[in-house]
Chains A and B, each alone.
Chain A
């Protein structure tokens, strides 16, 4: 049941527990309990929403930064990753296979702000040997949701 709850919440985190209970044919109490456990276990970390940032005036800039990192004995990439993740400017931080080690996404108000964050903070962190910054020009899809066009799917309003 927990797996199904997670998949419903990922699709629409505004479903209330009663609605989830109806969909999963269980009781509100069972759903309350399951979600409380998912939260307590740190499986559900936050409830958020997907925004088409281009449609709001203060959309800022987003950059993908590839970092090469010298792993530390005993702790590998963890220490650097933890340090990087602690910055509020950092939206996400992932360890990658392949040429670069960490992929960091950073959001800022302007190119300048992001550039100085990368040069002044990320590049300075001990163990970070190089950075490659790529600014995002346009987002087409986010977390499985298309940001292109509007929802009109050509079906019209009524048909028999």
Chain B
């Protein structure tokens, strides 16, 4: 009999499993659940994009592409970035097409982190930065952001977290789960803290298309950050293409070159069909994206108002597609709140604690659902809160 436990690497063993796995298992198997729990768009991939994928299959475009992705796609990504951010990235050596934003994050961290190097990660945030850092032998330095600061990274918190070993700062904005975005002025302040340091920035901009009221600003648009920023983006959220698994990294040549080297050995290239589809997404889907954003915006306003009326204070999310209301007034932990809500009213939310200790006291509600669905979920949450009070 093999002793499998001893065969699992120390690193893999030491990576904490998600603490709310149990809650997820219950939510995913219970009957009659109305959910605000998923982190992916409800819209279908626009048909133009699907057709482009199908056309490429019909034309038998099913071989490997260049390691860094189809040149045409890299050119489109470069054009799109110029159009959106006013920044130039050379398609030949400053753009890498990856298997989703996730791979780009993983490869970037692996390419720059040596054992003992520190990675500053603001939380609450998406769950992958910490384990990916550990896999690379790095040391996660968690910075808790606070609701009073709009869940944004403040210059003083950043300053306090920087040490001689700091190699990388993760800027995960627009934020899953808080919906926070960093303004140009706020990013400028972050830039001032990093000026004259040798610290890189990994800017996870997967939700860049989903901002409300003002267009997304990338840290790379700030003069002091441009040279140190690796932009991670992808097609999942903007174009409703989660299952196509396609993302990209943009950044300084030497960094992209190193990431591409690792990508070449680990992945070869991103899925060819998805790459062909993505070219169409960047060429012809601005209107589709605008329509989806308008719809998200209507839902966002409805859900924020709903939570506030229920007495669950909710800072206005300015990006992504999540509301992050406080449940502190109920006296429950976020996991207790979610579990009791699930059993009582069969509404699935995600406990804020899933996104780091700083998420305790909050719950994440996705608004990737129809207005009717959101209304019903809010109604049930209202019934649950009444129950708690009585």
A residues in contact (CB < 8 Å) with B: 8, 11-12, 14-15, 18-19, 22-25, 153, 155-160
**Beta-carbon contact of A160 and B375 below 8 Å:** no
In the complex, what's the smallest C-beta–C-beta distance from B99 to chain A, in angstroms? 17
**Beta-carbon contact of A156 and B38 below 8 Å:** yes
A11 CB contacts on chain B under 8 angstroms: 371
Provide the B317-351 mask, 1 if CB < 8 A to any CB of A, else 0. 00000000000000000000000000000001010
**Beta-carbon contact of A14 and B372 below 8 Å:** yes
**Beta-carbon contact of B305 and A22 below 8 Å:** yes
4 additional A-B residue pairs with CB within 8 Å, beyond A12-B371, A22-B305: A14-B372, A155-B38, A156-B38, A159-B39
**Beta-carbon contact of A157 and B298 below 8 Å:** no
In the complex, what distance in Å separates the CA atom of A73 from the CA atom of B172? 70
Judged by a CB distance under 8 angstroms, whether B127 is at the interface is: yes
A15 CB contacts on chain B under 8 angstroms: 371, 375
B298 CB contacts on chain A under 8 angstroms: 8, 23
**Beta-carbon contact of A155 and B42 below 8 Å:** yes
In the complex, what distance in Å separates the CA atom of A10 from the CA atom of B27? 32
Contact of B348 among A8, A24, A158, A160 (CB under 8 A): A158
The interface size of chain B toward A, counting residues with CB under 8 Å, comes to 29
Q: A12-B371, A19-B375 are in contact. Are A160 and B302 (CB under 8 A)?
A: no
**Beta-carbon contact of B371 and A157 below 8 Å:** no
Judged by a CB distance under 8 angstroms, whether B28 is at the interface is: yes
**Beta-carbon contact of B350 and A22 below 8 Å:** no
**Beta-carbon contact of A160 and B354 below 8 Å:** yes
B1-50: which have CB < 8 Å to A? 18, 23-24, 27-28, 30, 33, 35, 37-40, 42
B38 CB contacts on chain A under 8 angstroms: 155-159
B375 CB contacts on chain A under 8 angstroms: 12, 14-15, 19
**Beta-carbon contact of B39 and A12 below 8 Å:** no
**Beta-carbon contact of B40 and A157 below 8 Å:** no
Provide the B365-376 mask, 1 if CB < 8 A to any CB of A, else 0. 000001110010
**Beta-carbon contact of B33 and A157 below 8 Å:** yes
In the complex, what distance in Å separates the CA atom of A15 from the CA atom of B211? 24
In the complex, what distance in Å separates the CA atom of A12 from the CA atom of B23? 32
Which residue of chain B is the closest to A15 with respect to CB atoms?
B371
Could you write out 5 A-B pairs with CB less than 8 Å apart? Answer: A12-B371, A12-B372, A14-B375, A157-B27, A159-B39
Q: A11-B371, A14-B372, A153-B42 are in contact. Are A158 and B350 (CB under 8 A)?
A: yes
**Beta-carbon contact of A159 and B302 below 8 Å:** no
B182-213: which have CB < 8 Å to A? none
Which residue of chain A is the closest to B297 with respect to CB atoms?
A23
**Beta-carbon contact of A157 and B302 below 8 Å:** no
Sort A-B residue pairs by CB-CB distance and give the 4 closest, nearest first.
Answer: A158-B37, A22-B305, A157-B35, A157-B27
**Beta-carbon contact of A160 and B305 below 8 Å:** no
Residue of A15, A24, A158 contacting most chain B CB atoms (<10 Å): A158
B110-152: which have CB < 8 Å to A? 126-127
In the complex, what's the smallest C-beta–C-beta distance from B287 to chain A, in angstroms? 16
In the complex, what distance in Å separates the CA atom of A156 from the CA atom of B39? 10
In the complex, what distance in Å separates the CA atom of A95 from the CA atom of B52? 38
**Beta-carbon contact of A157 and B42 below 8 Å:** no
**Beta-carbon contact of A160 and B372 below 8 Å:** no
In the complex, what's the smallest C-beta–C-beta distance from A10 to chain B, in angstroms? 12
In the complex, what's the smallest C-beta–C-beta distance from A144 to chain B, in angstroms? 12
Which residue of chain B is the closest to A153 with respect to CB atoms?
B42
A156 CB contacts on chain B under 8 angstroms: 28, 38
